[in-house]
Amino acid sequence: MNPKTSSPGAMPLCARRAALDILLTTDPFAKARAARELGALVRDGGAGVSAALELPEPPGIPGRPSQPELVSPRALERRAMHTDAGRAALIHALAHIEFNAINLALDAVWRFAGLPDAFYADWLRVAAEEAYHFTLLTDHLAGMGYRYGDFPAHNGLWEMAQKTSGNLLARLALVPRTLEARGLDASPPIRAKLWQAGDRRAANILDIILRDEIGHVAVGNRWYRWCCTQQGLDPLEAYRELAQRYQAPHLKGPFNLKARRAAGFDEAELAALMQTTQSPAA
């Protein structure tokens, strides 16, 4: 899918339809390129969002390649960081997270109708930035002699997206604010391991990803609170109910509280989070 502006006199490109087309794309590299192109197009005013449009769900969501093989998280082999294969497996796992994150952002754009234009613009920007991260990681992986698909991976992020496909509030609560926010906690120790292993390039990529992911979680927080306001709900109480109803994973520390504050979590939310662990990180 190569999003382009329409010819003079034609109907303008609908970014939500284009997002669905990209979501269905099975080639991960073509998907990443198209997500970045669509993000730039919307940013520059070359496409509209048609917020009221109700799009039927086609088969094949999300488009994905035949590899990597998707397995249970418990089936993933732990590899030593001091080996090239071990570092490559870690970079591959991070690339797979970013591939799923592209899909998640695109899915939010096409699936949920009737929202402010800024909602769609935010998630299209997120999709483009996730695609950039995927490209950085897979380029580095290629430099190590590997390719995306060479290692098995798990599908936890997308499984939660499927569970929340009929409930925008739940999607926002449990994907960006829960599963993706875990990356804010995990990124610094992973970066430290890569740096200690001598992989400076990978460590620098992790710096870029953490910077951008703070903004992505902030988008989730902003629109979650907007939805709570629209529905007259208390954000903290609503989160507790949704986490229980959809069986969200129990988060364990240490937590990157600095990054979480920067991403828009308030002190009441952080206090509730801290109750889940006895080993917080400030």
Question: All domains of the chain, ordered by start, with CATH?
Answer: 15-51+83-274 (1.20.1260)
Q: State pLDDT tens for residues 58-74.
A: 999 999 999 999 998 88
The three-point CA angle 50-54-56 to 5° equals 130
The DSSP element (H or E) to which 155 belongs, if any, is none
User: Which residue(s) pair with 14 in the sheet?
Assistant: 48
Which phi and psi angles does 278 have, rounded to 5°? -110, 5
Read off the pLDDT of each residue in 25-48 and give the average, rounded to a whole number.
Answer: 96
pLDDT of residue 81: 83
Helix (H, G, I), strand (E, B) or coil at 160: helix
Residue 86 above 80 pLDDT? yes
When pLDDT is averaged across residues 127-138 and rounded to a whole number, the result is 98
- What integer best gives the mean pLDDT of the chain? 92
Percent of the chain with pLDDT over 70: 94
Encoding tokens for residue 84?
């090239």
Give the separation between CA 143 and CA 128, rounded to whole angstroms: 23
Mean pLDDT of 161-190: 96
Mean pLDDT across 109-126 = 98
Per residue in 257-282, pLDDT tens? 999 999 999 999 999 999 866 444 44
What is the rounded average pLDDT of the residues 122-146?
98
